[in-house]
């Protein structure tokens, strides 16, 4: 079945460090891929998305490229800030998934000054 596997956390980085959070997926058909972010005590917010192979989603300095050949959608940011501390979820959706999103288990990021 469809699934998403995310890099285990937690991740702790110093401010201005480079961030990569790995995400790979298994899907039938052609999924759309998403990154959502959850700040402490809040719901999930859409960070970025890509709907077809080789698309790059970007927002707030974060980027992720839909790689069909490696079934990956890794999240990157060149210089993290303390305000980026949150839990990041990779997710997929396909027309075959019965209208549901499949989420990874989340990766907790803490950025220290």
Under the rule (CB under 8 A), what is the footprint of another protein?
4, 32, 34, 36, 42-46, 49, 51, 89, 91, 93, 98-106
Instruction: Pick between residue 40 and residue 113 the one whose CB is nearest to another protein.
Output: 40
Instruction: Pick between residue 34 and residue 66 the one whose CB is nearest to another protein.
Output: 34
Minimum distance of another protein from residue 108's CB (angstroms): 9
- Per-residue DSSP letters for 1-65? --EEEE--S-EEEETT--EEE-EEEE-SS--EEEEEEE-TTS-EEEEEEE-STT-EEEETTEEEE
Instruction: Pick between residue 32 and residue 80 the one whose CB is nearest to another protein.
Output: 32
């Amino acid at each position: 079945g469809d699934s998403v596997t995310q890099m285990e956390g937690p991740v702790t980085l110093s401010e201005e460090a480079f961030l990569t959070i790995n995400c790979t997926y298994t899907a039938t058909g052609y999924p759309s891929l998403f990154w959502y972010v959850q700040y402490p005590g809040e719901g999930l917010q859409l960070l970025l998305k890509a709907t077809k192979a080789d698309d790059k989603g970007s927002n707030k300095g974060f980027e992720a490229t839909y790689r069909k050949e490696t079934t990956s959608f890794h999240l990157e940011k060149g210089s993290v800030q303390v305000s980026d501390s949150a839990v990041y979820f990779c997710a997929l959706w396909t027309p075959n998934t019965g209208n549901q999103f499949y989420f990874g288990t989340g990766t907790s990021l803490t950025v220290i000054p």
